[in-house]
Amino acid sequence: MTVAAPNYELVQQDGLETSLLEVSMGPHHPSTHGVFRMDVKLDGETVVDLKPVFGYLHRNHEKLAENMSYLASMPFTDRLDYFNSMTNNWAYALAAEQLVEIEIPERAEYLRVIMSELTRLVNHVSLVGFFVNDLGALGTPLLYAFREREKILDLFEQASGARMMCNYFRFGGLRCDVPDGWLDRTREVVDRFPKFLDEYEKLLCENEIILSRTQGVGNLSKELAISAGITGPMLRASGVNYDIRKVDNYGIYERFKFRVPYSEGDVGDCYDRFMVRMLEMRESIGILRQALDGIENGPIMGNAGKVFKPQKSEAYGRVEAPKGELGFYLVADGTTQPYRYRVRPPSFINLTVLQDMCIGQQVADAVIILGSIDIVLGEVDR
Amino acid sequence: MSVLGSGIFKGMAVTLKNFVGSYFDKERLTTNEYAWQANDKLPERAGDYPKEEAEQLSDTTTVTQYSRNFPMLLHDAGEPMDTVRCVACQICERECPPQCIYIEKSTEKKERSGNKAQFYPATFDIDVSVCMSCQICVEVCPFDAIVMNSQFELSTPSRFGELLLRRDDLLKSNDYYYKIHPEEASARDKRIADEKAAKEAKKKAAEAAKKKAAEAKSKSEAEAKAKEEAEAASKPTEPSDTPPAESTATPSTEPPATPTTEPEKEGSAE
């Protein structure tokens, strides 16, 4: 069977009408980081309009949590942003601890900070890997990142029993203490991490291809970032010095000395977002070292009682998750189940400016811009 | 500004170093099936067990002792159903976040070795295709009857039958628990022993207090009786509205709630 080749000679060049091309990227496109769809309108290679479509991974998380006891939703929070189960646990525990007054023991507070900062390392290091993967650096940087991530996940497994779905935080403390020698192993991993970061920076930060493809791409102005409610590294890349660890001082963050990296310019392009995360990892290592020096033996669980049954009240607990402000809003009605349970997911709200950042860019850059936002669809759709 | 392209070559130097290092570096990661074992072989202790259990052990020894997978039911040394710790209180069934546990309580109580008669689970099913390994059931269990297994090779060609673990599949000995989670098991047994000792001490103290109270009460009762008799003697014609002293005393003679009602109390608070 032969197929007739189109005869290009016949196409008339003059008076040819062009129209916008509508492309549906996703929901199974490898660049969309999960089941996420972008309805893109293209004029040649330029993006004219972009509509994000999500909801493919909706799991009814909030309504489920309203129909089960407070403790039983803790393992479900792991599955929101499955890269950062520890910070998700913390945000939920913070909200619930405001409903009833529980004193959290010192050791638990230190371990919470250690777990949270290790999570930040895991998230940022693999985000950078995925980001350059989207750029076309297939495999190598991502696998280097995963090699380091694996060491930290081993620590999580030893502490909590699971690599990713840790389910480690409890209202008033932690589920169990870390095993003997865990802190020494953590210190070893933390001490080796800067060496890896040096190597990683050498590999990526001066690479001309990465520079030319990220600088000036996907600009996000300070004003738009603030008015759209962007948080986390993305907001700091747009030049706003805002970090909930500094603003709220939740946990015991006021005891640690660390700087908040943010971009000084008002560009907020993909390169800024990439660099802010690279710098943040260095600061996390500083916090980890201070926490590992300061931690002492002691109990890890406050007196929370066997049944968690708060009085009629409401609470909002938020933490600086690696992706931005993660908040849990709880309304208690005096029973063992929350009356209202609401999650403020950072990647969902950070995704709202995708359209503004992508219009006028090349279609290949839309992929990078999406990668630089750092979304996890488990959290976007909930 | 450096020469154009130098950044790329710097990056390539890193990859080259990593490539060569993957053969010679001391810190390199290699695939090692029994990485945490010093001599790279199956532990001999697996051979001390019956065939089925040895197979399970060979499976669980490939993961660290901290790893958890699906729940199992513990029994102490002896026949599994004679020494099972579960009393079918159904707290885990109620607290399980994905609702994957199904329990049916036995109709009559059964004598346990060394303990008083308790209910036992007539049916105890865990649907591991639903279970999300969160360990909430382990935390809420007041009898330390359910703990996490680390056996993971559960793949099966049938979709429903074999992924529904029945009571007899779930029953595992405390020895087996020691094999797969040595640190956790010894910590747990230590805690149980401590709690038992504390409970006994408390019981003794309570008994002593009860004895004292009973003595005091009999004394006061005798006094009250004497008083009543004296009153009755002084006013014999008037019928008394007040209940006799015996009926007011009866509630306090009831012994305090036995420890076995503890979980039910907790359940009623739900």
pLDDT at A307 over 80: no
pLDDT at B263 over 80: no
Query: How do residues A82-119 score in pLDDT, each as one tens digit?
Result: 888 899 999 999 998 888 888 888 888 999 999 999 99
Question: Mean of the pLDDT values across residues A6-26?
Answer: 63
Mean model confidence pLDDT for chain A: 85
Q: Which residues of B touch A70 (CB under 8 A)?
A: none
pLDDT score for B2: 61
The beta-carbon neighbor of B95 closest among A69, A158, A159 is A69
Q: How confident is the model at residue B29 (pLDDT cuts 50, 70, 90)?
A: low
Mean model confidence pLDDT for chain B: 72
Cβ-defined contact of B64 to A159 (cutoff 8 Å): no
Q: Which residues of A touch B134 (CB under 8 A)?
A: 74-75, 78, 165, 167
Cβ-defined contact of A207 to B64 (cutoff 8 Å): no
Q: How confident is the model at residue B246 (pLDDT cuts 50, 70, 90)?
A: very low
Question: Mean of the pLDDT values across residues B166-184?
Answer: 82
Cβ-defined contact of A75 to B136 (cutoff 8 Å): yes
pLDDT at B41 over 60: no
Q: How far is CA B53 from the centre of its chain?
A: 21
pLDDT score for B269: 41
Q: How confident is the model at residue A377 (pLDDT cuts 50, 70, 90)?
A: confident
pLDDT at B59 over 80: no
The beta-carbon neighbor of A68 closest among B13, B97, B135 is B97
Would you state the structure tokens that stand for residue B17, as one six-digit string?
Answer: 């170093």
To test the contact with chain B by mutation, choose from A78, A85, A176, A200 the residue with the greatest count of B C-beta atoms within 10 A, namely A176
pLDDT score for B243: 46
Query: How do residues A177-235 score in pLDDT, each as one tens digit?
Result: 888 888 998 998 999 899 889 988 888 888 888 888 888 888 888 888 899 989 989 89
Q: How far apart are CA A85 and CA A75, in angstroms?
A: 9
Cβ-defined contact of A72 to B136 (cutoff 8 Å): yes
Residue pairs spanning A and B at CB distance below 8 A? 83
Cβ-defined contact of A71 to B95 (cutoff 8 Å): yes
Query: How do residues B90-104 score in pLDDT, each as one tens digit?
Result: 888 888 888 888 888
pLDDT at A5 over 50: no
Lowest mean pLDDT across A16-20, A157-161, A331-335: A16-20
Which residues lie closer than 8 Å to A122 by C-beta, 6 or more apart? A83, A84, A149, A152, A153
pLDDT score for B257: 43
Is residue B267 less than 8 Å (CB to CB) from chain A?
A: no
pLDDT score for B164: 84
Interface of B with A in 21-80 (CB under 8 A): 27, 29, 64, 66-68
To test the contact with chain B by mutation, choose from A92, A149, A199 the residue with the greatest count of B C-beta atoms within 10 A, namely A199
pLDDT score for B262: 42
Question: Mean of the pLDDT values across residues A50-56?
Answer: 86
The beta-carbon neighbor of A75 closest among B2, B15, B97 is B97
Within a domain: A81:
yes
Cβ-defined contact of B136 to A150 (cutoff 8 Å): no
Is residue B183 less than 8 Å (CB to CB) from chain A?
A: yes
Give chain B's length. Answer: 270
The beta-carbon neighbor of B95 closest among A72, A204, A206 is A72
Angle formed by the axes of helices B6-24 and A182-204, nearest 10°: 140
Which residues lie closer than 8 Å to B211 by C-beta, 6 or more apart? none
Is residue A355 less than 8 Å (CB to CB) from chain B?
A: no
Q: Which residues of B touch A158 (CB under 8 A)?
A: 64, 66
Q: Please state, for a pLDDT cut of 70, what percent of chain B lies above it.
A: 69
Q: How far is CA B100 from CA B2, B97, B103, B132, B263, in A?
A: 62, 8, 10, 9, 20
Question: Mean of the pLDDT values across residues A130-137?
Answer: 85
Q: How many domains does chain A have?
A: 1
Residue from A297, A308, A283, A342 nearest A92 by CA? A342
Nearest residue on chain A to B9, judged by CA atoms? A207
Q: Which residues of B touch A65 (CB under 8 A)?
A: none
Q: How far is CA A20 from CA A27, A39, A47, A367, in A?
A: 21, 12, 10, 19
Nearest residue on chain B to A79, judged by CA atoms? B132
Q: How far apart are CA A121 and CA B242, in angstroms?
A: 75
Within a domain: A201:
yes
Q: Which residues of A touch B67 (CB under 8 A)?
A: 157, 161-162
Q: How far apart are CA A278 and CA A272, in angstroms?
A: 10
pLDDT score for B28: 66
pLDDT score for A104: 87
pLDDT score for A8: 38
CATH of B66-180 given 3.30.70.3270, 3.40.50.1360, 3.40.309.10, 3.30.360.10: 3.30.70.3270
Is residue A264 less than 8 Å (CB to CB) from chain B?
A: no
Which residues lie closer than 8 Å to A75 by C-beta, 6 or more apart? A165, A167, B97, B132, B134, B136
Q: How confident is the model at residue B120 (pLDDT cuts 50, 70, 90)?
A: confident
pLDDT score for B46: 42
Domain span holding position A266:
61-300+308-381
Cβ-defined contact of A162 to B68 (cutoff 8 Å): yes
Q: Please state, for a pLDDT cut of 90, what percent of chain A lies above it.
A: 12
pLDDT score for B122: 85
Q: How far apart are CA B150 and CA A201, in angstroms?
A: 39
Cβ-defined contact of A209 to B136 (cutoff 8 Å): no
pLDDT score for B114: 62
User: Which has the higher per-residue pLDDT, A259 or A6?
Assistant: A259
Is residue A305 less than 8 Å (CB to CB) from chain B?
A: no
Is residue A336 less than 8 Å (CB to CB) from chain B?
A: yes
Question: Mean of the pLDDT values across residues A344-354?
Answer: 89
Cβ-defined contact of B133 to A165 (cutoff 8 Å): yes
Within a domain: A169:
yes
Lowest mean pLDDT across A18-22, A165-169, B169-173: A18-22
Is residue A194 less than 8 Å (CB to CB) from chain B?
A: no
pLDDT at B226 over 80: no
Q: How far is CA A10 from the centre of its chain?
A: 53
Q: In this predicted complex, what is the ipTM?
A: 0.74
Question: Mean of the pLDDT values across residues B44-65?
Answer: 55
So where are chain B's domains?
A: 66-180, 181-215
Q: How far is CA A198 from CA A139, A204, A206, A278, B108, in A?
A: 19, 10, 12, 10, 68
A78: distance to nearest CA of chain B, Å?
Answer: 10
pLDDT at A1 over 80: no
User: Which has the higher per-residue pLDDT, B242 or B133?
Assistant: B133
Would you state the structure tokens that stand for residue A245, as one six-digit string?
Answer: 């660890």
Cβ-defined contact of B134 to A75 (cutoff 8 Å): yes
Q: How far apart are CA B66 and CA B89, in angstroms?
A: 27
Q: How confident is the model at residue B58 (pLDDT cuts 50, 70, 90)?
A: low
pLDDT score for B56: 57
Nearest residue on chain B to A150, judged by CA atoms? B29
Cβ-defined contact of A179 to B183 (cutoff 8 Å): yes
